[in-house]
Structure formats: structure tokens, C-alpha cells
Amino acid sequence: MRRTIAFLILFIPGALAVYGIKIMRDMLFGISQPPYPALWVQFLAGFVLCIGGIGFIAGFVLHRDRKKNKVQNRFK
């Protein structure tokens, strides 16, 4: 049950990061998505979503590894 909950906690930020990459890619090809008024806003939103999702997952993994004492001394 704990693994299922951990998977769900990681799935949502992962999906947001993937969506961020998708809208950044669409901006590079000149495809405008409906909720964004300009291409640069679309790229900025995608960048924030991507960095936020990856950062959340990285923080989650680092926190879990700290609890299990599996990190180097500089990360403790």
C-alpha cells in the first residue's frame, strides 16, 4: 500500500514535468496551445512546470535516501 501511495505522489509531478516538456517543444515548432496568449508565455509556463516537477521528484528521492542513510556525507 505504501508503494502505491508513493507512486501516486510521484506520478502527478512527473506528469506535470512531461506536460511542461511538451508545451516547450510545441513552442519551438510554433504551435500555440489555447490557454497561453503568446508563445513566450507558453515556453515560460512549460519551463516552470518542468523544473518544478523534476525538482519535486529529486527532493522526494533525496529525502527517502537520507532516511535510509544511503547518501554521501555532503548531502546529510
Give dist(CA 23, CA 16) in Å, integer.
11
The x, y and z cell numbers of residue 8, run together, are 501516486
What is the reported pLDDT for 13?
96
CB count within 10 Å of CB 52 equals 14
Give dist(CA 66, CA 1) in Å, integer.
22
| Phi and psi at residue 63, to the nearest 5° | -60, -45
CB count within 10 Å of CB 39 equals 16
Range of the domain at 42: 2-75
Do 66 and 76 form a contact (C-beta atoms < 8 A)? Answer: yes
What is the reported pLDDT for 53?
97
pLDDT tens, the chain, 76 aa long: 888 998 998 999 999 999 999 999 999 999 999 999 999 999 999 999 999 999 999 999 999 999 999 988 888 8
Number of structural domains the chain divides into: 1
